[in-house]
């Protein structure tokens, strides 16, 4: 499989880009890999890059977007931060990726058993981590069940994963609200913004469609 070129990127649509990621994740789950020469892709991308998707995911060592979607060099922009939330810098990076570099799809990828989500659920405090986790706490508050405070913590795996899903949705809401550039591109059909969850137990990605 060759690295994407300006010509192949131009053939990509938001739906086709999504299908590429779905097929890549299916290969990953089946322990298969597309036949690609990474060193050849280094050479092919030395004069430019033409990725088709931008993926915002967590720093979790088990959730590498290139691996779980079986993509090569030059295929995706990968934005990683604990808890996969957005701020001004990340939104600016996404605007560059879509408006200037031509990607057709933004995926906000949460995952099960997320440590950052657990920290927010437990109101953890540690140096700069305290301020970072405050960005995730709106998702904790937005998940109403269970109401029993003794069950709203990292020991309740169902609650943690529900907060992770809510965090993905609230992140997408923030992209729409805080980036007119990306919001307008989506309204015009130039890009798609979609959420997804990665299951660390199975390797499967479930898209919110």
* Annotated binding-site residue numbers for Zn(2+): 58, 60, 111, 114
- CA distances 53 to 77, 78, 129, Å, are 6, 9, 29
Q: Taking the CB of residue 89, how many other CB atoms lie within 10 A of it? A: 10
Q: Taking the CB of residue 131, how many other CB atoms lie within 10 A of it? A: 9
Q: Which residues are annotated as a binding site?
A: 58, 60, 111, 114
In degrees, rounded to 5, the angle at the alpha carbon of residue 119 between the alpha carbons of residues 152 and 132 is 130
With a CB cutoff of 8 Å and minimum separation 6, the contacts of 69 are 21, 24, 25, 28, 55, 76, 205
């Amino acid at each position: 499989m060759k690295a994407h070129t300006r010509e192949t990127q131009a053939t990509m649509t938001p739906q086709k880009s999504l299908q590429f990621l779905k097929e890549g994740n299916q290969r990953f789950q089946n322990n298969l890999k597309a036949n690609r020469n990474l060193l050849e892709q280094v050479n092919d991308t030395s004069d430019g890059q033409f990725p088709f998707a931008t993926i915002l995911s967590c720093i979790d060592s088990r959730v590498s977007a290139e691996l779980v979607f079986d993509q090569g060099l030059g295929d995706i922009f990968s934005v990683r931060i604990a808890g996969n939330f957005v701020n001004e810098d990340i939104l600016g990076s996404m605007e560059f990726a879509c408006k200037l570099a031509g990607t057709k799809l933004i995926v906000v990828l949460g995952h099960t058993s997320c440590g950052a989500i657990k920290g927010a659920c437990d109101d953890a405090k540690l140096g700069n981590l305290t301020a970072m986790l405050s960005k995730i706490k709106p998702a904790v508050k937005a998940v109403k069940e269970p109401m029993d405070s003794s069950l709203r913590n990292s020991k309740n795996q169902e609650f943690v994963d529900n907060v992770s899903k809510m965090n993905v949705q609230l992140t997408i809401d923030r992209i729409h609200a805080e980036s007119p550039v990306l919001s307008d591109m989506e309204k015009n059909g130039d890009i798609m913004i979609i959420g997804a969850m990665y299951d660390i137990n199975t390797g499967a990605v479930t898209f919110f469609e």
